[in-house]
Every structure is written in C-alpha cells, then in structure tokens.
Amino acid sequence: MTTTAPTPITPAATEFPLAFQLTPSTDARAVLEREAILADPGFGKHFTDHMVQIEWTLDKGWHNAEVLPYGKISLDPAASVFHYAQEIFEGLKAYRHADGAIYTFRPEMNAARLQRSAVRLALPELSTVDFIESLKQLIAVDGSWVPDAAETSLYLRPFEMATESFLGVRAAQKVGFYVIASPAGAYFSGGVSPVNIWLSTEFNRAGRGGMGAAKTGGNYASSLLPQELAYTKGCAQVLFLDAQEGKYLEELGGMNLFLVYKDGTLVTPESDSILAGITRDSIMQLARDRGHDVELRKVSIEEWKAGSASGDIVEVFACGTAAVITPVAQLRAEDFTLGEADAPAGELTMSLRQELTDIQYGRLPDRHGWLTRLDA
C-alpha cells in the first residue's frame, strides 16, 4: 500500500530579517478627522491609514513584506480560510509615554504565542524579529494614531491566514500575515467598573487536544453563542468550564481569570485548553514581586463557591490586553450566583491594575524589561 506523506510546513527560517516596502496612502485622514477619532476611539471601530502584509508560499517562505494603504484584502472565494478557518491572530497595544515616545509591551511573548498558534493550525511561523519589525514599520507611518489621553492606546492586531484557493482539506501552501491597528479606549463601555460574568454550563469553548491554547478565530466563534446568552443575563462576559468534567474554571470569552484569597494568595486556572495570557503572566510576576503567593493550578467552581460562602475569596478579576484588569462583581449561573452585582472593585485588583498600566505608560520604571520602543 502506498501512502502520501503530508506536505511539511517549512519552519520560520527566514535567514535574514525581511525588508519592508512602503506604499504610502494617498487617502490618509486629515489631522482634524484623526483627532476627532482619537478623542473618542471606543474599541475596534476605527483603523489607521496603513497596514502590513507579508506573503508566504511553500516554495519561497516569507516574502513581499509591505506596508500598504489600509484597505480591502481581495481573496478568491475558494481561499481555504473561508472554508476551514485556518487563521490565527494576536493582540497587543502601543502606548504613548509622556515624552511622546511609543512603546509596546512584551511583543516577543505575542510573537512566540503566534508561533505556537501557527504550529497548532499548521500555518508557517513568522520569526520574532520579523513580527516586531512589522509593528515598528506600521508605527513608522501611523505613529500619529497612538492617542495620548489616559487609558488610551493603539491596539495592534496581527493575524495570519490561509489564502490559497483550494478546497481540499490540508494545510494551505499560500498564507498571508497582516497587521492592522485600531485606536482604543476602554474595552467595556462602562470603563473600569466591575462586570458581571455568566457561567456557561451548556457550552464549552475548547476540549482536550483541541485548539483552546491557540489564538484562533474558531475559539472565538464558538464563544459567540454563549456570549450572546451572557448578554441576556446582564453579563459582559461568559466563563467557560473544562469540557472534560465540567468542573474546573477555564477562562472568559476573551480574558483570563484570577481569584484573590483573604490571605493575599492569587489563584488562576491552569489548563491546556486556555490561552496563556501575557497579561496573566505579567500579573503573576507583579504579585510575586510584592510577596504574594501566586498559584497557577486547577481551580474548580466548587472551590469558588466554597471560598465565596466562607468569605475566603475576597476579589475576582479578569485580565487581557484589551480588558487590562477588569474587576468581576458577580458570577451568575442558572441555579446560583456568587458575589454581589454592585460589588465595588477590589483593592488589590485596582492596585495591580495601576502598577501594570504605570509600567505600560512609562510612569514606573520598566524593571522587568517588558517594554519595546516602536518609534525609534
């Protein structure tokens, strides 16, 4: 019997950093229009004047690195991303410091996560050098889109997808990497005020051996229906449990979760099927620096119930690039609630939030070397 070996995906291995070509937009927004957008950016509604595009083919590897006018991507209707969702993305922010300089936060972690997502989705890996260079290239033309008001930033959205026109189910041999950028205020319309979350017991986000640890569109698609249900229950986000036993906390639709114990211990769920958040990792470090015990381990919903009933769990918060640190007031489920709907933000929650954003915005020393300058 003969078998056909699967086509190997060539690894990152671009030997030299890619050289980018710039085609400036002839249609860039006027200063006044841009300023009006930056004054009230919202989240994910407005986009800058340019974008990055890099092509990959099986025979050439990564090539044609470009900064182009922001605009439509033209793909054949048979492009495999439309059919088999071979797509991954990242999210990070550019922050304007008081001296005007533009920095981003731990971009090498986003590059590494994109590489891990790429491996899982059988997409080619982009090197960390090229990933970070793509951000610098975009900021070089669109730096004026980084707002300077408190709590605002330019959200950077790198993504990679299968662009090959082919309906056979196999890893694409033609892929595109892109970066778009969107000025951002608070992710939740209520700003930093506490949110309620809905416990999904009917739906799971990801299962054992699935794609839960990858940042891929499919995971978000699977969260949309439970997220809609959460809205009907007056909740801003949905919390998923593990698919295997329906017992352990996983994460929210777009954020990780922390529980804070009375003795100062922070606990955050460990699981193979959730996203290893960069905000989560940074919070663990900042809390440990302050002398807190931090536990990355399995956390059951029963533990939360018991800790809430005994008063041992005193704060809960969600975290992620878009959400930064968002206090959680109440967990709602079909047959129980934990916490009060109007509970104020926790003290530790808000002080960690302050410290993290102070580092990101350059108001505190960058003692862990987390910042990368993008505009120089």
Structure-block tokens of residue 200: 């999904």
With respect to ligand PLP, which residue has the nearer C-beta, 256 or 357? 256
Does 320 bind ligand COI (CB under 6 A)? Our answer is yes
Q: Which stretch in 69-77, 81-89, 249-257, 327-335 sits in contact with ligand PLP by CB under 6 A?
A: 249-257
How many H-runs (helices) and E-runs (strands) does the chain carry?
Answer: 8, 18
DSSP class of residue 68?
Answer: E
Segment 308-347, which members bind ligand PLP (CB under 6 A)?
320-321
Shortest Cβ 16–ligand COI spacing (Å): 30
CA distance linking residue 3 with residue 133, whole number of Å = 41
Query: What is the full DSSP assignment across 163-220?
Result: --B--SSS--SEEEEEEEEEEE--SSTTTTS-EEEEEESS--S--TTSSTTS--HHHH
Segment 137-196, which members bind ligand PLP (CB under 6 A)?
none
CA distance linking residue 243 with residue 207, whole number of Å = 5
- Residue of 50, 93, 280, 353 that binds ligand PLP (CB under 6 A): 280
| CA nearest to 214, candidates 306, 336, 302, 121 | 121
Site pattern 322..351 for ligand COI (x: CB under 6 A)? x-----------------------------
- Residue of 143, 183, 226, 254 that binds ligand PLP (CB under 6 A): 254
Name residue, tokens 């994460």.
251
Which run of H or of E encompasses 329? strand 324-332
- The entry of ligand PLP, ligand COI, none near residue 278 (CB within 5 to 8 angstroms by kind) is ligand PLP
With respect to ligand COI, which residue has the nearer C-beta, 18 or 206? 206
With respect to ligand PLP, which residue has the nearer C-beta, 58 or 296? 296
Query: What is the full DSSP assignment across 122-157?
Result: T-PPPPHHHHHHHHHHHHHHHGGGS--STT-EEEEE
CA distance linking residue 137 with residue 198, whole number of Å = 40
With respect to ligand PLP, which residue has the nearer C-beta, 164 or 242? 242
Shortest Cβ 126–ligand PLP spacing (Å): 17
Shortest Cβ 322–ligand COI spacing (Å): 3
Segment 68-97, which members bind ligand PLP (CB under 6 A)?
91
- Residue of 321, 326, 349, 360 that binds ligand COI (CB under 6 A): 321
CA distance linking residue 184 with residue 344, whole number of Å = 25
- Residue of 143, 147, 212, 254 that binds ligand COI (CB under 6 A): 254
Residues near 95 by Cβ (< 8 Å), separated by ≥ 6? 102, 103, 104, 105, 146, 153, 360, 361, 362
Q: How open is the CA angle 112-144-279, to the nearest 5 degrees?
A: 30
- The entry of ligand PLP, ligand COI, none near residue 275 (CB within 5 to 8 angstroms by kind) is ligand PLP
With respect to ligand COI, which residue has the nearer C-beta, 62 or 317? 317
| CA nearest to 267, candidates 291, 251, 284, 255 | 284
With respect to ligand PLP, which residue has the nearer C-beta, 14 or 223? 223
Q: How many residues belong to the site for ligand COI (CB under 6 A)? A: 5
Q: Which residues bind ligand PLP (CB under 6 A)?
A: 91, 251, 254-256, 275, 277-280, 320-321
Q: Which residues bind ligand COI (CB under 6 A)?
A: 91, 254, 320-322
